[in-house]
Structures are given as C-alpha cells and as structure tokens.
DNA sequence: CTTGATGTTTAGAATGATTCTAATTCTGTA
DNA sequence: TACAGAATTAGAATCATTCTAAACATCAAG
C-alpha cells in the first residue's frame, strides 16, 4: 500500500508547491501510510528512526507541516493531547475510544455533511467541518493468542 | 443574566459534589456568564482580577476545572490553541471565524445529533459528539461609529 | 567541474499553556 | 477557640511544539 503510486503523489504534490522530495519527507509519509493509527510526531519519530537513525524530531515536525500543507495528511487534535496525523483524505470523522485511547476513522457520507452544514444560520460559510466522537468502540479480536 | 438563579445553580452543583462555594468560583463563573465569548483561562484571569485583584491564575484554572467537573461549563479546544470555556449547556457546535478568531455557538437540533450518531458502524457507542466549523461568519454591525 | 543561492535538516534553546508543589489561608465543625 | 480538611496562592516543572543558527544538500549557472 505504499509504493510508486503514493510515492509519486508525494513527489508531485511537493513539486506543485515548489518543494523538494527528500528521504525524510518520503519516510515520514511512508510511515504514516503503513500504520494508519493516527500517530503523534513522537511516535512517527521512533518509527522513522529505525530506517533513518539520524533523523531529528524537528525534521519530523517539519515534514509533517509540509505534508499537511500539501494536503496529503490531516492534523487531528483531541482535547489537549499531542497532535495526531492521518493520511486518510476522504471526508471522515474521528472516534476516540475512551478505554484504549485509540482513534478510529468514521466515513462520512456527503449527505451527512450537507445536513450538518444546513444547521448554520444565514451568513455563515464553513470551509471545514470537523466531527469528533468519544466513547467505546467494538473490541477488535486479538488476531491470535500466542502459546 | 447573572444573579440568583445562576448563583444558586452554582452553589447547588458544588454542594452536590461536596465542594465549597467560594468567591473565586463564583466570580469565575459569573465572568463566564457575563460575556459569552468563549474566553481562555488567561482572559478570565484578567476579567476576574478587576473584582478580586488577589486571585491567581492557578486558581482560575482550578475553578474552571471544578466548573467543568460540575457540568456547569464546557471546555472547548480548537487545534492547538489555549482551551476556551463556554457556559452554554445546550447541545451546540462551535464556529470559528477564520478572520476574527471569534468562536460562535451554533445550536444543534436533537434530530441532527441523531443523524450524526447514525453514521457510526455497529458496535460503536458514543458518549459525546463534538462538531467544529471553520469559516466566515456574518459580520455583526459595529454598534455605533464614534465621532 | 566550481560556485553560489536556496532549500533542508539538525541539535538544542525558547515558548506557552497547563499542571504540580508546598506553603498559607479559610471554613465548618467539635 | 482549635483543628481538620478544603481551597488558594506563587512559583517551579512539564511537555508538545516552534524557533534559531549552523551544517548539509541540491540545483543552476558560469
Ligand atoms: Mn504532535
Ligand atoms: Mn486555557
Ligand atoms: Zn483519520
Ligand atoms: Zn459554546
């Protein structure tokens, strides 16, 4: 799920913004695509360091800022916690599981977005709508219990 | 809009939680009710200091935590900005004006909340839904241009 | 190829909202 | 009045993030 298509998309978007394609940017984006669990900058730092041990946390922040700016990644905030990052570009909401702390994507049909938008009184024009749920999500079964 | 009714509500809620009614708590809550512009803790600190110059910022934070805990006030977070506080207990969304930075309340009919809730796949149970709009809101007219 | 301009990365310092700590002050009751 | 627990206070600590300044890399001339 990583390869050429995404890799090209990245190079393309960077070029569109007059930015260079670098190993750091590629690896941060790749790490984000590989495990779609809404990691924080710190978590990505750890993951990317195994491939590029010299990368710095500042660079991870810089790359993420760039990716968000290129519209390849969304920044997700929940209460006062560290910002999380999401490569899902479809319209979706976030569900925060109170028990596990996990963040799940919830697809949002366009019709719902219209309904939500319709509650705005006259004169309001929204450029974005963010929806966040909190609660309990179905426990995914342990994929295999070892010995 | 401040007086006995709200004042009693505060005393009552505090008592319910085994907490004391103090001048600091009263003033912070009053300041929140008086100007419903979703102030930050710092802004409330400034406002309350004119009535009680000895109050500390830590106390403002403590009082807000207490008020949130008593369900008299909602904490509102937007991206990485400082937490804002809202005494509107009705179900409502927040609209952040990109130009002015102001935060406005948007009433949410129960029917919409149901619709939103309905997008959750089976097994998800939400205990709260938060909706945040960004965009442009109607300019309220300057109430009188001086000179 | 050099060279310079510019973009990028890096380590570490700085920032800023919030929380914590420890001491002091209050309040309600014995 | 005296004490226990609650609340307030000033200032230190925390922590995610941003900033700074220096080192590096890359590209486009010359
Ligand atoms: Mn973060
Ligand atoms: Mn705040
Ligand atoms: Zn997401
Ligand atoms: Zn509000």
Per residue in A117-126, pLDDT (tens digit) is 999 999 999 9
Q: Which bases of chain D come closer than 7 Å to a protein CB?
A: 6-11, 15-20, 26-27
CA of A106 to the centre of ligand 3 (A): 8
Query: Quick check: B80 CB within 7 A of strand D?
Result: yes
What average pLDDT score do residues A31-58 get?
A: 97
Across the interface, of A75, A106, A129, the residue whose CB is closest to B131 is A129
Contact A62, A69 (CB under 8 A): no
Q: Which residue, among A116, A117, A123, A139, would best test binding to B if mutated, counting the most B CBs under 10 Å from its CB?
A: A116
3-state secondary structure chain A: CCHHHHHHHHHHHHHHCCCCCCHHHHHHHHHHHHCCCCCEHHHHHHHHHCCCCCCCHHHHHHHHHHHHHCCCCEEECCCCCCCEEECCCCCEEEEEECCCCCEEEEECCHHHHHHHHCCCCCCCEEEEEEEEEEEECCCCCCCCCCC
Q: How far is the CA of B72 from the C1' of D19 (A)?
A: 39
Across A74-83, average pLDDT: 97
Question: Which CATH fold topology does B90-137 show?
Answer: Dna Ligase; domain 1 (3.30.1490)
At B92 the pLDDT is 98
Measured from the Cβ of residue B104, the count of other Cβ atoms closer than 10 Å reads 21
Distance CA B75, CA A33 (A): 32
| Look-up of token digits 């939103």 | B116
| The predicted structure's pLDDT at residue B2 | 54
Average pLDDT over residues B38-64: 98
In the predicted structure, residue A147 carries a pLDDT above the cut 60? no
The residue count for chain A? 147
Ligand 3 center to residue A79 CA distance, Å? Answer: 16
Which of A120, A139, A140 to mutate: most B Cβ within 10 Å?
A: A120
Token readout for B59 is 């106390």
Q: Residues near B77 by Cβ (< 8 Å), separated by ≥ 6?
A: A77, A78, A79, A80, B83, B84
Q: Whose CA is closest to A72, among A104, A106, A32? A: A32
Interatomic CA distance for residues A94 and A83, integer angstroms: 13
Are A72 and A13 a contacting pair, CB within 8 Å? yes
Query: Is a pLDDT exceeding 70 seen at residue B141?
Result: no
Mean pLDDT of B104-116: 98
- Percentage above 90 pLDDT, chain B: 86
Q: Spell out the domain ranges in chain B.
A: 4-76, 90-137
CB-based contact A110:A91 (threshold 8 Å):
yes
The Å distance, CA of B69 to C1' of D6, is 16
d(CA A33, CA A8): 14
Architecture of domain A4-76: Orthogonal Bundle (1.10)
How many angstroms does the Cα of residue B144 sit away from the middle of ligand 3? 45
The residue with tokens 């708590």 is: B25
Is residue B68 classed as helix, strand or coil in its secondary structure? helix
Entry pTM: 0.90
From CA A75, how far away is CA A81, in angstroms rounded? 12
pLDDT tens, residue by residue, B123-133: 999 999 999 99
pLDDT at A7: 74
Residue of A nearest to B124 (CA): A137
The DSSP element (H or E) to which B127 belongs, if any, is: strand B125-136
């Amino acid at each position: 799920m990583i390869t050429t298509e995404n890799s090209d998309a990245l190079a393309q978007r960077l070029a569109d913004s007059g930015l260079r394609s670098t190993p750091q940017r590629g690896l941060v984006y790749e790490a984000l695509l590989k495990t779609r669990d809404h990691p924080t900058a710190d978590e990505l730092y750890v993951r990317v360091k195994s491939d590029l041990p010299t990368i710095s946390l500042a660079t991870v922040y810089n790359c993420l800022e760039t990716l968000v700016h290129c519209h390849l990644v969304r920044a997700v905030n929940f209460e006062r916690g560290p910002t999380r990052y999401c490569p899902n570009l479809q319209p979706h909401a976030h569900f925060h599981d109170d028990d596990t702390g996990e963040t799940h994507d919830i697809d949002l049909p366009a019709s719902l977005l219209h309904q939500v938008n319709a509650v705005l009184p006259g004169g309001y024009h929204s450029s974005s709508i963010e929806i966040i749920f909190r609660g309990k999500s179905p426990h995914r079964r342990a994929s295999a219990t070892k010995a």
